Each structure stands twice: as C-alpha cells, then as structure tokens.
C-alpha cells in the first residue's frame, strides 16, 4: 500500500486525532470519509472507520502502538481487504493476511477481497441435501449434519469441543475438502498445538489457520472471523466444499463488547451492544449451500460457544442457537463419566441434517435415539434399587455396549459406511463381546481393515447401500460372520 503522503496528495483531505481510547481513536476532519473506509496515520499505521458522526469519526486500529492527539490522518478511498488464494493453504496467518511464522515467507496471493461483504441472496442458494461426515460416531449416526449447515458447538471449558473439531477437520481434509480454522484470541501455544497436530496427520496443506492471540490488538481479534469467512468464500467460489470453524464466538462477543463500550455505545443486556445479534447473524448468513459458476459448493460453519456451569440460557449462547441450524451440546457431566465425545444427544439439535440422510441412515438414527431414550429410562430403575428382570438387564447391557461403541480416541475418525455396518454388527450381537473393552478392539480391527483392504472396503460400502435397517440386519446375519472372520484373521493381533 502507499504511504501517508501519497494518500494525502490523492484525497486532499486531512484530519487530526482528538482522543485515544485504546483500540478506538477519535478523529476530526475528513468530511468525505465513508464507513468501513481505511484511513492512514502519519506514523504509517492504518485504521478502519468504525462509525461516522457529525463532528468526528471513530477509527478502529489494528495495532498497539501509541498514537498521540494531534497526529495527522488522511483517507485512502479503499476498504479493508485481505489476500485470498491457494497460496494460503498450509499457512498460519493473522487476520490482516500476514504470515505469523516469519521463518517461512508467504507468497502473497494476487487477489484481495473485502472482509465485510453481504450474504448471498436466496437465488444463489440450494437446499442442503448432502450429508456432512464428521467421522465422529454419535454425530454421524444420531445427530447428522449437512454440507452448508451452520452448527453451534456449545459446552463448558475442557469438555472435548476442540478434540471433536480437530477430528472433523481431519476427516474433511482427508476427503479433499478445504478447511479454514479461525482461532479467536487464543494463546499462541494452543494455536501451535493445533498446527502441529494437523501437520503430523498430513492434512495441513488442505487448511488455512487464521489466528489472533490474546495479546493482540482488540481490532485484530475482532477481525478474525471475518477474515476466515472471506477466505472460505473464495474457495467456495472456486467450487470447493469448505469447512469453517469459528473458535469461538463467545470470546469474539466479549471483545466486540469492549470495542462498543470504548466507542461509548449504549450498553444492553450484560453490557453487550444492541447490535451484537446483527453482527453475528450477518456473519453466519455468509455460510450455506450455494450455486457458483464452477458448480454447487458449500461453506459448513461450526461455531463454538463456551458456557458457564452448563448454562445454555446465556445471552450469547441463545443468540447463536437462534441463528444456527442446530447445536451439539458437550455435557460436562457426561465428560466426567468418561464419555468421549461428551455430546448429549437429547440436548443436541440438528434442524437440516436429517433431510440429507438415506433411508438406511435415517432408520439407524431413529433406532439409536429410540434405544438411548429407553436406556436412560431403564437406568432410573437401577437408581431406585428396583429388582431387575432379564429384559431390563439385557437393555442395560446393550446400552452399555452402545455407549462404549460411541467412545472415540483423539484423532480417530470412522467413515460413515463403516459406522453403519459396525453398529449393525453390534446391534445384531455378531461380535463376540466378553467385556466392553472388546468393542474398541473389534472396531479398531475393522477400521484398520477398511482402511487398508480394498476388498473388505468395497464389501462394506456395498452393504451400506441396503434399503433399510431391518434388511441390513438380515443380510449381515448371513455375511457378517465371514467379514468378522476375515478381519480377525488378518488384523486380530
């Protein structure tokens, strides 16, 4: 970009810093300045016009350098843009598009886009009809998602949300889709761990990580999800299916609240500004399933929100619930019981995911939810110390097996066709299970076979095309023992 003198000669307008309030700077002058325009200080730093008032403008700055009152400011006639392109894949960048890792120079993409664009209209959108595979058993089987869905990931700190997100990104990247991860105000150590995890698993070249640190300027942190969404839109326009993770918007709301209070905005509930819902809703609406010049493409947005003491009725949490297509609730009580992931299927919602399922997947999902509901009711008999008959004992034993079946280790992703066949084998009692640890062993063996043996993979994929759950049980009672025997002989050790 040009320097202060060049912009001053070009626009012939000058303003002066009147007051500095951390990330908000009040500037007088500049009569023709527009909202969202970039301005440049004589020190060479840039700012973003946050609001325009009759006597002054509010400028949001992206640096921590101290600006003195009286400093000259001029317009640029440009809006804030960030670089977008394939050159960003495999890199960790800040919200301004600069590489965080200074040892690896970033080849700047030739194209730049404005970060604050309007969502696409209904004419350019398609219904969500394709299932989004996370590789997480309980989600894909019981609470399915669709490509282009906006799903809230909500729960207390340290309940496994990040582990779920990394599994999902890993699965999607291995399938060839583009993944964009926005780390909003995170510690540098946390961002580094995420980068190293994906590099170790060989999928970093399918990812862009947009990161802002907790010590960065408020303006930079505020910008993070917008930059990530803009990069996602570029790949969407290239005809790609994109997974966007915003981690997390509850932190983003707090930083936006700080900006608004510095800007003397009238505080509302919990001191949040009155436009906090609009701010997040406009961002979320940019995700979806779209018609592009290069075919149908989607942006699936997984938005993270952090609760306190498991309270789902918080202001930001309920806001985000109302603007997304469902939510996955990570229950701390289930986490303490050893469930991994600790997703509560009864308090989780998917509003469009079920319409993407085949008849078989819908049957399996319905059977699982119905049985888990029965299992929860049966457990109440145990709490009351009631005498259990054989039916209740069998139900509790099956329920215990299914709960252990849904447990997954970090980094373990399971293809959906294999999920269906493995669950049906468990349901039909085809696996020899002496104790619950055998379930993980059987699943690990068949997952290894599916990954490395083409013949077994083709057989399982064909079985997963069966019309209904009942028919699949019948087919597996005939063919299942042969598959289990082949897997056990080759991968049993």
DSSP per position, 310-323: T-TT-HHHHHHHHH
Q: Do 184 and 105 share a structural domain?
A: yes
Q: Do 367 and 353 share a structural domain?
A: no
Mean of all residue pLDDT scores within the chain:
93
| 436 has a pLDDT exceeding 90 | no
Q: Do 236 and 178 share a structural domain?
A: yes
Range 146-155 average pLDDT: 98
Q: Encode pLDDT of 297-330 as tens digits.
A: 999 999 999 999 899 999 999 999 999 999 999 9
Q: Encode pLDDT of 15-31 as tens digits.
A: 999 999 888 999 999 99
| 362 has a pLDDT exceeding 90 | yes
How many whole angstroms separate alpha carbon 254 and alpha carbon 252?
5
In the prediction, which pLDDT does 58 show? 95
Q: Do 421 and 285 share a structural domain?
A: no
| 1 has a pLDDT exceeding 80 | no
In the prediction, which pLDDT does 385 show? 61
Instruction: Tell me the backbone φ, ψ of residue 361, rounded to 5 degrees.
Output: -65, -35
Q: Encode pLDDT of 116-147 as tens digits.
A: 999 999 999 999 999 999 999 999 999 999 99
Q: Do 322 and 179 share a structural domain?
A: yes
Q: Do 155 and 114 share a structural domain?
A: yes
Joined tokens for residue 355: 């319409």
Which CATH number fits the domain that encloses residue 65?
2.40.30.20
In the prediction, which pLDDT does 493 show? 61
How many whole angstroms separate alpha carbon 258 and alpha carbon 60?
12
Domain boundary among 326, 357, 388: 357
How many whole angstroms separate alpha carbon 443 and alpha carbon 320?
36
Q: Encode pLDDT of 234-282 as tens digits.
A: 999 999 999 999 999 999 999 999 999 999 889 999 999 999 999 999 9
Domain encompassing residue 20: 4-78
Q: Can you say how many angstroms the Cα of residue 36 is from the centroid of all Cα atoms in its chain? A: 27
Percent of the chain with pLDDT over 70: 99
Which CATH number fits the domain that encloses residue 176?
3.40.50.300
Percent of the chain with pLDDT over 90: 85
Percentages of the chain per state (helix, strand, coil), in multiples of 5: 45, 25, 35
Q: Do 101 and 144 share a structural domain?
A: yes
- What SS3 state is found at 293? coil
pLDDT band at 64 (very low <50, low <70, confident <90, very high): confident
Domain boundary among 328, 357, 386: 357
How many whole angstroms separate alpha carbon 166 and alpha carbon 102?
25
Q: Do 192 and 316 share a structural domain?
A: yes
What's the structural domain count of the chain? 3
How many whole angstroms separate alpha carbon 231 and alpha carbon 249?
18
Which CATH number fits the domain that encloses residue 487?
1.20.150
Terminal Cα distance for the chain, rounded: 62
How many whole angstroms separate alpha carbon 99 and alpha carbon 424?
47
Between residues 284 and 385, which one has the greater pLDDT? 284
Q: Do 403 and 295 share a structural domain?
A: no
Q: Encode pLDDT of 105-116 as tens digits.
A: 788 888 999 999
Q: Do 457 and 399 share a structural domain?
A: yes
227 burial via Cβ count (<10 Å: 0-12, 13-18, 19+) = buried
Q: Do 99 and 38 share a structural domain?
A: no
| 492 has a pLDDT exceeding 90 | no
Helix axes 276-284, 218-237, angle to 10 degrees: 30
| Active-site choice (125, 265, 351, 457) | 351
Joined tokens for residue 184: 């909003």
In the prediction, which pLDDT does 102 show? 65
Q: Encode pLDDT of 70-103 as tens digits.
A: 999 999 999 999 999 999 999 999 999 999 976 6
Q: Encode pLDDT of 156-209 as tens digits.
A: 999 999 999 999 999 999 999 999 999 999 999 999 999 999 999 999 999 999
Domain boundary among 308, 339, 357: 357
Indicate if 264 belongs to the active site: no
For every residue of 234-264, DSSP letters joined together read HHHHTT-EEEEEEETHHHHHHHHHHHHHHTT
Query: From the CB of residue 189, how many other CB atoms can be counted at a distance below 10 Å?
Result: 9
Q: Do 52 and 123 share a structural domain?
A: no
Contact (CB, 8 A) for 79 and 114: yes
């Amino acid at each position: 970009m040009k320097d202060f003198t060049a912009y001053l000669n070009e626009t012939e307008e000058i303003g002066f810093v009147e007051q500095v309030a951390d990330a908000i700077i009040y500037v007088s002058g500049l009569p023709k300045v527009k909202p969202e325009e970039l301005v440049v200080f004589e020190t060479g730093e840039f700012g973003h016009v946050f609001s325009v008032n009759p006597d002054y403008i509010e400028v949001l700055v992206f640096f921590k350098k101290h600006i003195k009152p009286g400093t000259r400011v001029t317009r640029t006639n440009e809006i804030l843009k960030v670089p977008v392109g394939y050159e960003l894949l495999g890199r960790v960048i800040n919200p301004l598009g600069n590489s965080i890792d200074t040892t690896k120079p970033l080849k700047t993409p030739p194209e730049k886009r404005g970060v604050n664009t309007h969502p696409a209209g209904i004419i350019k959108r398609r219904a969500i009809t394709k299932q989004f595979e996370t590789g997480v058993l309980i989600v894909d089987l019981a609470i399915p998602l669709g490509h282009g869905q906006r799903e809230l990931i909500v729960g207390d700190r340290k309940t496994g949300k990040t582990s779920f997100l990394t599994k999902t990104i890993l699965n999607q990247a291995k399938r060839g889709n583009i993944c964009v991860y926005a780390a909003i105000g995170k510690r540098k150590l946390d961002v580094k761990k995420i980068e190293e995890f994906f590099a170790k698993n060989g999928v970093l070249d399918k990812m862009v990580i947009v990161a802002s640190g907790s010590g960065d300027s408020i303006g930079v942190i505020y910008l993070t999800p917008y930059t990530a969404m803009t990069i996602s839109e570029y790949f969407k326009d290239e005809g790609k299916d994109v997974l966007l993770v915003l981690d997390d918007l509850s932190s983003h709301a707090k930083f936006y609240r700080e900006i608004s209070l510095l800007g003397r905005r009238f505080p509302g509930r919990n001191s949040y500004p009155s436009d906090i819902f609009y701010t997040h809703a406009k961002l979320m609406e940019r995700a979806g399933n779209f018609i592009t010049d290069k075919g149908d493409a989607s942006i699936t947005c997984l938005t993270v929100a952090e609760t306190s003491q498991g309270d789902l009725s918080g202001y930001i949490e309920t806001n985000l619930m109302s603007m997304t297509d469902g939510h996955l609730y990570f229950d701390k009580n289930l986490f303490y019981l050893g469930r991994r992931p600790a997703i509560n299927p009864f308090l989780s919602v998917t509003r469009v995911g079920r319409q993407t399922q085949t008849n078989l997947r819908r049957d399996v999902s319905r059977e699982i939810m119905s049985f888990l509901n029965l299992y929860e009711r049966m457990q109440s008999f145990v709490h009351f110390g009631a005498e259990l008959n054989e039916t209740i004992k069998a139900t509790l034993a099956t329920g215990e097996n299914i709960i252990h079946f849904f447990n997954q280790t970090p980094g373990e992703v399971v293809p959906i066709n294999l999920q269906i066949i493995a669950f049906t084998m468990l349901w039909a009692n085809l696996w020899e299970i002496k104790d619950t640890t055998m379930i993980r062993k059987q699943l690990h063996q068949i997952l290894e076979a599916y990954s490395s043996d083409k013949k077994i993979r083709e057989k399982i994929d064909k079985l997963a095309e069966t019309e209904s759950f009942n028919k699949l049980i019948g087919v597996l009672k005939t063919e299942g023992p042969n598959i289990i025997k082949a897997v056990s002989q080759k991968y049993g050790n």
